[in-house]
Structure 1
Amino acid sequence: MGKIIAALNMTIDGFCDHTAGIPDEAIHQHYTQLLAQGDAILYGRITYGLMEFWRTVLDNPSENKSMHDFAVVIDRIPKIVFSRTLKNVTWKSATIAKRSLKEEVLELKQQPGKDIFVGSRSLIIQLLHLQLIDEFQLCIHPLVEGKGLRLFENINNRIIFKLVKNKTFKNGAIILYYQPKNK
């Protein structure tokens, strides 16, 4: 199977939030291409709710082609939602996980296929503790947010990463591709 990839946007001061950042056409195109190459994306309840915004873009197409293209891809990719409170989801390509995060990811790792993306901060932290993330793709936006959720909150053990590549965008954002050295 492919890798378990934590793909997230964050600011220079370390805050990750789907509303922070400076999305532009190039970044939308990047994530459109990335998700088109995956088998699934894992979300927690809150991030899943935020991502439902893209359904509205499909219902009311944006004049921005890159946003529309991303909406099409995010609509298609299977989404596995981890929640103790959600009983059902209405997005056709989404399902609620029936097993624990660890059990679900270990099962996915056994199957042949493409990469699995993790798009929720809470799931990334849990998978870091379980040592189940194969790669980080951190898109650092050139701004200081000053508030929000810190990506690496509640990490008590030292984790060393190896930079394997990077990608710079014209707007100053940069994606850093890291692999944990224990992999």
Structure 2
Amino acid sequence: MRKVIAALNMTLDGFCDHTAGMPDAEIHAHYTELLGRGDVILYGRTTYQLMEFWQTVLENPSEEKSMNDFAVAIDTIEKVVFSRTIHNVDWDSARLAKRDLKDEVLELKKQSGEAIFVGSRSLIIQLLNMGLVDEFQLCIYPVVEGKGLPLFEGINGRTFLKLVNTKTFKSGALLLYYEPQYE
């Protein structure tokens, strides 16, 4: 059965913000490699629209090779978008979800293939509440933002996490790998 991996960036004070951290070449390379180990990534509307930025990098490559490589990786992986407000997506590798989140994820998990990534805070919270997150990969940037969306807001109950790995980047960002221990 395929694993559901919640991969998200956050600040040291626990806020999710794709723009708060300053990913460097090493972090871009890490995420490029990670995307190569999955088949699909799930997004809510807001994160999907933020990620559309990478289409502009494909059209007008950056001087930074790691950004260009990430743009290719994010372009290649299938994206499933959950939204009640958009009715079509322009990215060739994206599609709107046909079912509700739980049913879509359970169907994807049954299929053969690689990991299912979740890159939106709202979807991560919902899936955690359903007991469907198999692994967290939290990249914590050494930034205190002081405001924003807390990652674990709206959680229904306590979930213990087992630390299974860590990775430290030269920039001081820390990647924590956790497996939820559902009660």
Range into which the TM-score falls when normalised by the shorter chain? over 0.9
Structure 1 residue 170: deviation in Å?
A: 0.5
**1:166 matched to which residue of 2?**
166
Once residues 19 and 13 of structure 2 are traced to their aligned partners in structure 1, the CA distance between those partners, rounded to angstroms, is: 15
Residue 50 in 1 paired to residue 50 in 2?
Answer: yes
Q: What is the one-letter code of the residue matched to 2:16?
A: C
TM-score of the two chains, using structure 2 as the length reference: 0.98
Runs of 4+ in 1 over 2 A off after TM superposition: none
Cα-to-partner distance string for 1:60-119 (whole Å, 9 max, x where unaligned): 000100000000000000000000111100000000001000000000110111000000
Consecutive unaligned residues in structure 2, runs of 5 or more: none
How big is the alpha-carbon RMSD for the aligned residues of Structure 1 and Structure 2?
Answer: 0.9
Task: Note if contact 2:20-2:145 (Cα within 8 Å) is conserved in structure 1.
Answer: yes
The corresponding residue for 2:180 is: 180
Q: Distance in 2 between matches of 1:94 and 1:147?
A: 31
Identity %: 70
Offset of 1:154 from its aligned partner? Answer: 1.1
- The letter of the residue matching 1:3 is K
Q: Which residue of 1 aligns with 2:4?
A: 4
Name the structure 1 match of 2:39. 39
SS of alignment partner, residue 73 of structure 2: helix
Deviation, 1:20, is 1.1
Matched, 1:150 2:140: no
AA at the equivalent of 2:113: G
Shift in Å, 1:2: 2.5
1:66 pairs with 2:48: no
Residue type of the alignment partner of 2:88 = N
